[in-house]
Structure 1
Amino acid sequence: MEDGKMRLLFIGDSITEWGRHEDPENIGSGYVRLIHDYYKTAKPEQNYEFINLGVGGDRISDLQARWIRDVLQLNPDIISISIGINDVWRQLDSEDPDQIYPEQFEEIYVNLLDHVKEKTNAMIILMEPTIIEENLESEGNKKLKPYVDIIHKLAKKFAATLVPTHQSFVSYLKTQADYKLTTDGVHMNSAGNMLMAATWIQNVKF
């Protein structure tokens, strides 16, 4: 914490990025905005600095490529990571041979978290990847399961806070409610962003 500010860094893919480039505060209009607004109003006496570094299309390997600049050099007090959707989605929509399967996903993720532990004192928050299609039996959701399991494993290994966003979406879908959470099966509408933000707020304590 520098100058009394608590720096919260959110990093991930387009679900995290959501509108930040069009936002003067660079926070965006997605779940990060809702978390930001919650803490700014619930704890106005606290001096929070929110940073959104979501990048559309990112996989775990893309985080690795920018980890020093976008995480370690910023030295956050809290880092919240949401990644994994594109690692699976790319397997479904691309014949690119450069795929990231669970073993490599875990290997890279461990490397990133090792660096956080070695170089910072940040509290680590690991968000489960959400869903690929609003259908529990979709191929994307089946392929996503081992990635979710890896994040559970890493949360224990690194004493990180787990945010069960995938489980929140699964629980909602099991109700068979007809109200959609996404615009295209992956990217959130306002309800999906609310569910992500609410799950984060309910599970993160600092």
Structure 2
Amino acid sequence: MKDKARILFIGDSITEWGRNEDPEGIGIGYVRIIHDYLLTAFPSKELEIINKGIGGNRATDLQDRWEKDVLDLHPDYVSVSIGINDVWRQLDNPDMVQVYPEQFEEILAGLLEKTNAQLILMEPTIIEEDIHSEGNQKLIPYVEIVRKLAKNFDAILVPTHQDFIDYLKTGATYKLTTDGVHMNSAGNMLMAKSWLEASKSLLN
């Protein structure tokens, strides 16, 4: 990691998680855990962590605010977590205009293409703590798109979805979410752990 670095996180409510009520604007979710880890593990580094998560966001919403919330801030690293609402809205609000995989990929690729920063792409996590849920099945193409774009743009891939699925496969009964989507403290810890392990090459 550079001696001075601006790390920007952008996404939906999972990223936002309390940032609007936090004087530091970091929130109490996985971004907070990453923030606190980096500042305590690397006290000599000058780090600026920016949280630009907004609840309910889909890929189309990131497209609308990318210029202002990402490019204009000139980050060194951009961590993107998106895709849950693109699928969830198909389940809980099927009458609205949907963002299907082809459009999701087109939008995300366009945003990444114009971004001059080290990209960190997080797989969308889960929809219900059941591997076979309809939401998790519908998530699969979105996860595959994120993996593909990480290769195409030489981005760091954070295997968040895979890590959650692996946890569920163990049969562990401790919940990771409050409602099948939004993280409790354990879910936020798993997301942060996944991010930190994937991004360890940046932490030297």
1:174 maps to 2:169: yes
1:60 maps to 2:55: no
* 2:49 match: secondary structure: strand
* 1:142 match: secondary structure: helix
- Structure 2 counterpart of 1:43, one-letter code: F
Distance in 2 between the 1:95 and 1:59 partners? 14
Give the aligned partner of residue 76 of structure 1.
Answer: 75
Cα deviation code 1:103-162 (max 9, x no counterpart): 00000011101111xxx2x10000000000000010000000000000010001000000
Structure 2's unaligned 5+ residue stretches are none
Structure 1 outlier segments of 4+, above 2 Å: none
- Give the C-alpha shift of residue 188 in structure 1: 0.1
- Structure 2 counterpart of 1:29, one-letter code: I
Structure 1's unaligned 5+ residue stretches are none
Give the aligned partner of residue 195 of structure 1.
Answer: 190
Distance in 1 between the 2:129 and 2:38 partners? 29
**Percent identity at matched positions?**
67
Give the aligned partner of residue 29 of structure 1.
Answer: 28
Distance in 2 between the 1:161 and 1:40 partners? 21
Q: RMSD of the TM alignment (CA)? A: 1.3
TM-score, length of structure 1 as denominator length: 0.96
TM-score, length of structure 2 as denominator length: 0.96
- Give the C-alpha shift of residue 43 in structure 1: 0.2
* 2:173 match: secondary structure: coil
Give the aligned partner of residue 16 of structure 1.
Answer: 15
